């Protein structure tokens, strides 16, 4: 059972890693957050979180990085907050004439705000839109060519399995290997299914490194659902 202090430390480590893309040390946490406890005490708690599978240490002298289990705890805490939205109506800067233009426009806007590769699938027609390559490839994870190839492979797999992964209008979140796709270990997928204005069904997905901004992207997906319900 995780203590309140361990919960707070884990949340801060995940947030810091999302921002910096670097392992997080006990000293950096002590300097940034006024917890009134020493770096030694923070190190002990970080070791306990590591032993419980929420963190790992990439190198002996390095700080800690969240595991899939650590990210999952962090994401589940965000999901509990049901009242966090953006006003998506502000995104719509022009008249949209038909469902195809609606999907294309929303896909582009989602990619711009989320900094992820945004993939939208129109189920009946089996048409896929992708936006956001330029943004997502700026992430430091893609400095490794091997990871870039894995990401391309993941997108190909996602196209083949998207109907299985987006099974309802809730946000379905897959962190690392949770999706059971072959190239998924370094990435996360947020996906949900929605009714479009003409009663066709569309699936919207955000795909990026596991270090993506879950707080913002969950808000974006919730706001998308609210917007589509009003059309």
Look at residue 5 and tell me whether its pLDDT is greater than 70: yes
Q: Indicate if 88-230 has the same CATH topology as 4-73.
A: no
Write down the domain spans for the chain: 4-73, 88-230
Give the tens place of pLDDT for each residue, 168-196. Answer: 778 999 999 999 999 999 999 999 999 88
CATH topology of domain 4-73: Arc Repressor Mutant, subunit A (1.10.10)
Task: Express each pLDDT in 73-115 by its tens digit.
Answer: 999 999 988 766 666 656 565 556 678 888 888 899 899 989 9
DSSP 24: B
Look at residue 167 in the predicted model and tell me its pLDDT. 75
28-42 per-position pLDDT tens digit: 998 898 888 888 999
Provide the pLDDT for residue 88. Answer: 61
Q: Which CATH architecture has domain 88-230?
A: 2-Layer Sandwich (3.30)
- In the 8-state DSSP scheme, what is residue 39? H
Percent of the chain exceeding pLDDT 70 equals 94
pLDDT in tens, 114-167: 999 999 999 889 999 999 999 899 999 999 999 999 999 999 999 999 999 987
Give helix then strand counts, H and E, for the chain. Answer: 8, 7
Report pTM: 0.92
- In this predicted model, what pLDDT tens digit does every residue of 191-212 receive, in sequence order? 999 988 778 889 999 999 999 9
* DSSP secondary structure of 64-117: BEE-HHHHHHHHHHHHT-TT----GGGG--S---SHHHHHHHHHHHHHHHH-SE
Distance between CA atoms of residues 144 and 134, nearest Å: 16
**pLDDT value at residue 91:** 59
């Amino acid at each position: 059972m995780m203590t309140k202090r361990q919960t707070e430390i884990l949340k801060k480590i995940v947030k810091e890693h999302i921002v910096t893309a670097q392992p997080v040390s006990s000293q950096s946490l002590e300097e940034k957050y006024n917890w009134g406890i020493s770096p030694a005490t923070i190190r002990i708690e970080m070791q306990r979180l590591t032993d419980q599978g929420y963190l790992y240490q990439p190198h002996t002298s390095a700080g800690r990085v969240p595991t899939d289990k650590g990210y999952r705890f962090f994401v589940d805490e965000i999901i509990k907050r049901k009242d966090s939205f953006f006003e998506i109506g502000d995104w719509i800067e022009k008249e949209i004439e038909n469902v195809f233009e609606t999907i294309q426009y929303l896909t582009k806007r989602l990619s711009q705000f989320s900094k992820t590769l945004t993939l939208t699938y129109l189920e009946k027609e089996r048409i896929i839109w992708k936006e956001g390559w330029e943004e997502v490839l700026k992430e430091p994870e893609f400095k490794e060519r091997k990871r870039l190839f894995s990401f391309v492979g993941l997108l190909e797999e996602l196209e083949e399995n998207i109907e299985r992964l987006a099974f309802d209008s809730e946000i379905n979140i897959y962190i690392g290997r949770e999706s059971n796709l072959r190239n998924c270990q370094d990435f996360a997928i947020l996906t949900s299914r929605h009714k479009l204005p003409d009663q066709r069904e569309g699936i919207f997905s955000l795909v990026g490194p596991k270090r993506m901004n879950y707080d913002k992207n969950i808000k974006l997906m919730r706001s998308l659902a609210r917007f589509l319900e009003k059309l």
